[in-house]
Structure 1
Amino acid sequence: MNRPDPDRDLLRRARRTLAVRHTLVMAVILLGVGAVALVVVAHEERAALAASVRQTAATEEDVVDPPAGSWIFRLDAAGVLTATEDPPPGFPDRPALTRVRSGGPAEETEIGGYLMITRRHGDATVQVVGSLAAQQAETRRLLAALGGAELLGLAAAIVAALLLARRATAPLGDALARQRRFVADASHELRTPIAQLHTRAQLLDQELRAGASAEDLTPDARRLVAAARQLGEIVEDLLLSTQLENRAEIGAEVDLGVLADGVVAAFRQRSRSRRIELSLNLDPDRPSTVHGRAAALRRVLTTLLDNAFNHTEPGGHIAVELGNLDGPPRVQLTVRDDGTGFDPADAERLFDRFARGHDDHRRFGLGLALAREVVTGHGGTIEAHRGPAGGATFTIRLPVSRPADARAGRPRRTGPASR
């Protein structure tokens, strides 16, 4: 039975809430627009009918051939009533004719779906009745059309609301995913080194209580320091994995030559103690400035060099090379070793988080996966290759920043660094 995912439920509720609110807002807007259109059209049609009835009452001299949907009733000075054929039931309104004929003011009323105007016209009293049936039919047609448009608009609003809600909650989903991944990574990566560090600290404490000499304690103390350093590196990797700012556009100008020189210098002591030859080859005449985050790129190179030292035996050689590629101008940074290498089938799996090797024995950690995330975030690529005679080569390609003036203001390099 699958356990419910609270983060996924949270995202679903957020999307549903946003979609419902957006849909309701759009529905209210559509209803308001439709109601205004209906009122305006109905008012205009009634005003047009009223103007036609008034015009007929003021100008018609007989009851023959009135405008369509209208009837004329004429009461002359002698009291004789003439009317248009087939008048609607209940008309004429004789009391209104009597009142106006007796000197009362003109009357305009609406009775049972008819607009009636009674007024004096010369010696006669005229009553014109206009039917509102055509206006009401047009209003019903308009209402049906607006209802259909409202439904289509509401359907479009629902689709748009769902899409907007999904896009609006995407950053939240990304943040929750990073949080989950950080917790999983931390629990996965920190459990073993913390246990080892605790065990070594306990052993060192026991030896101190037993009165061991400083000479006897030196190996354990060094192992304790190394374990603490490894734990710090893991924590640094985990923190780097949670950073949202690994994109190049929010960084600064970074000279990869200067950066590589500093990182290689930090590994000199390790290369001497391991008796591994470490070389740095730079091209002083080609631009090597990229736009990005120096700390993240430094961590990538540190990870690659650390990986090379972990798989290179004493007497081996590790080379860091920096050059350029034509076409779209790019800087190429290569870390090459002649160590144990890897199975070619694992070339892509190397960059997966906590993946296992092709033979299911070798395990890959977090460092190379983070390296690819950083390089990809800087608009570059990273590849791994096994040499024909063994060893491993990692190649990073990053777009050159401002190739015309990339060298302005940066330190002058005189040639390949000494080994």
Structure 2
Amino acid sequence: MTSSAFTDRAAVRRARLRIGVLTGVIITLLVTVVGGVADTVMTRAQSDQVWRELRYGAARGDLSSPPVCTWLFARGSTPLANAPAGFPVNTDMDRVRRTHEAVERTVRRDGTQYLVRTQVRGDGRVVQAVFDMRFQLADRRHLWFALGVAEVVGLLAAAATGVVLGRLAVSPLAEALTRQRRFVTDASHELRTPVTQVYTRAQLLSRQAVAQGMPAPHREGLTRLVGSVGRLGEVLDDLLLSASLAAGPARPSEHRAVDLMALTRSVVAQEADRARDGRLTVAVDGPPHPLFVDGVESALRRAVGELLANAIGHTPAGGRIEVTLTRAGGTVTLAVADTGNGFDPAESERLFERFHRGGGGGRYGLGLALLREVVTHHGGTVAATGRPGHGARFVIRLPLGGPRAAAVPPPRSRVPRIGTRRAKAGRT
């Protein structure tokens, strides 16, 4: 899968996941808020009711027959047989005798909670009322258990809802991306033939202008026209290659064992004229034996050519470009280093974005973005390092392959390429 296709599909998956997560968070918050409100209301209502009953029992309750879950203690009275251990709280009773002020407290004991009120009755007796909260606490636990079940059900519902909403909401996005790629492919194919015809006609007119001795401005204009149409053809080639990579893995018949060492030397030889015109030194260093990788030769040639063209376009006259190939374990490394104008290290990753304009004012383009698509398509990685005024270094790493006895060469393109790759005005 290519980096662009992977990015698109990853964006769709992230959108679906985000919808599911947001739905789950909303349901969780709703259940939590409802549970918190319900618990607060229940706790307050229960406490108010129990304290009212407890105060009434302490003031007027029958010591021998108190209300349910309530026990009354007083000096000289016999507690009920089922009275909880540890009561009465004698310190509270002594305090009330001294101060004649009621005392209320909460006591936690034996895995439950007791509300205790001690006061002086109208007849002067000090009475302590104790209420067992175990049933109220059980109601609260049941409430939270029910809310927990509701939370689990809510999360399951959120997951199902998120999947459904994600598909309904994100499907148009996925479809739009598919249509966009199909449009780019169709438009590139449809434009390829007329652009080829225009390029051929422009070349013919340029030769006729030279042969017929037309004025220099006319000849220069035709030369610029040929160059412009050639660059347009290169953009169409880039779009077609990008679209074919985005369509998925190449057919088995298109894959073969490619000698990256021989391919690199071939590309360097093709760019020799441009290097001489720019008074550049291009050195190739690598092992004497082949370095095989598995892939599509035309695409790999395009990637290596892009790296070399990029280096030539950014290296001033008298500069040097070093192309190095090495093997380490199961990886083949291709490095292209130049003594050009370099770039800001902060731009190292953005250089591979489509239509990115670098800090040096380079034009928009697809070159390095397409390079990364090709490398990623072959299971490799590409990275760039550099500093302003100190050159740049691009490194491609590809899995090591091997020669195949029955390798099938890739099919030739039905439409010839227009022109040759020219130097870029910016690292794009």
Range into which the TM-score falls when normalised by the shorter chain: 0.3 to 0.5
Q: Please say which structure displays the higher CA radius of gyration.
A: 1
- TM-score scaled by structure 2? 0.46
